[in-house]
Amino acid sequence: MPPNIPYTKPPLSIQDQITLLQGRGLIINNIPKAEHLLSNLSYYRLSGYWYPLLQDKVTHNFKPGATFEKAFNLYCFDRELRLMILSELEKIEVALRAKLVFILSHEHNPFWFREPHLFQSPDKHRKSIVKISNEYQRSDIVFIKAFKNKYSDVYPPSWITMEILSMGTLSMIYSNLKPIRGKNDVANYFGLDKKVFSSWLHSLVYVRNICAHHSRLWNRVLGIQPRTIRNPRNQWIVNSGVSNKKTYYILCILLYLLQTVNPNNTFPSKFRALHAKYSNVDLNAMGFHTDWSNEPLWQ
C-alpha cells in the first residue's frame, strides 16, 4: 500500500465546479439553479447523491444521460425521509423517557439515576452524572429554574431530570443499568428483551444523529448495526433475511416500536406517498426487498 500523501487540491469556484461536472459528462439543464444549489448545499454534500450516476468511480465520469436534476431529486427524497424519521423518533424518545421514569421511580426511588449500585459500569455512571450535571446547570427551562429556587436537592427527581436529557444520554443510562427488574420491565413494555432493546436504542440514537446533522441516509451502510430479533412479540417482518446494515431495517424497527407507542401511526402510508413522489429512487440501495410492501408490518 502506497504511503499517504498530503491533500493539495485547491477549492473551486462555483463556475469551475459546474465546468468540472459538465466535463465529466453530467448534464445540467438549468445552470442558474445548479449554481444556486451548489452555493447553498455545497459540492461535497451533493456528491453523495450523484455517486450512483457515475460510470467510473475512479475517474468520476458519469453514465450517459446522467443529470444534475436526478441527483438533486435523490437529495430531496433523502431529506424528506430524514424529517419523517425524526418525527417518529420523537414519539419513541418521549415514550422511552416516560417508561424509564415511571418504572424505575416506582421500583426504587425518584432519584434512582444517582444510585451507583443500580448500574453495571461505575465509569459510565459517572459520565452520565456529568452529562446530567452539565445539562442541569446550563438549563434555562422554567421548571428547572423553579426547582432550583425552591429545593435544596442536588438534582430534581427523575421525572424532571430526564426531561432535559438527550436520547443518547437516555440510551446510555438504560444500557448501563444492571439486569434489574426495572430494566426488563421497560424492554418488555416495547415487546423486546433488554439486550435487543439496548441495541435498538443505540442504533436509533446513531440514526437520529445522522438525521439531525442532515447527513445522507439513502444507500448508507450503518456504522452501528442493531441486533436481529428472533422471537418478536409484536408484528415483525416475515422476510427475516434482510440486512440489518441498511436503512430498511431501521424503518422496520421504527414500525415495530410504533405498534406500542402509536398503534394508529400512518408511517407506512407516508412512506409510500414519499416513494410515489420520488418514484425513480432505488429502494434496493436502502435494503428494501422486492416484496416489502406486502409485509404485514408495512400494511
pLDDT of residue 7: 87
Answer whether residue 33 is part of any domain: yes
Only one residue has cell 446530567, namely 132
Nearest to 204 by CA among 177, 175, 182, 233: 175
pLDDT of residue 13: 97
Find out whether 79 and 214 touch, Cβ atoms under 8 Å.
Answer: yes
Mean pLDDT, each 10-residue run in order, the chain (299 residues): 86 96 97 97 94 91 96 97 97 98 97 97 97 93 93 95 96 97 97 97 97 93 94 92 95 98 97 96 93 95
Answer whether residue 1 is part of any domain: no
Answer whether residue 7 is part of any domain: no
CA atoms within 13 A on the CB side of 194: 15
| Number of domains composing the chain | 2
pLDDT of residue 1: 72
As to burial, measured by CB atoms within 10 angstroms (0-12 exposed, 13-18 middle, 19+ buried), residue 123 is exposed
Find out whether 283 and 292 touch, Cβ atoms under 8 Å.
Answer: yes
Domain enclosing residue 45, as ranges: 14-66
165 and 255 inside one domain: yes
Which phi and psi angles does 67 have, rounded to 5°?
Answer: -125, 155
As a whole number of angstroms, the distance between CA 48 and CA 65 comes to: 18
pLDDT of residue 2: 77
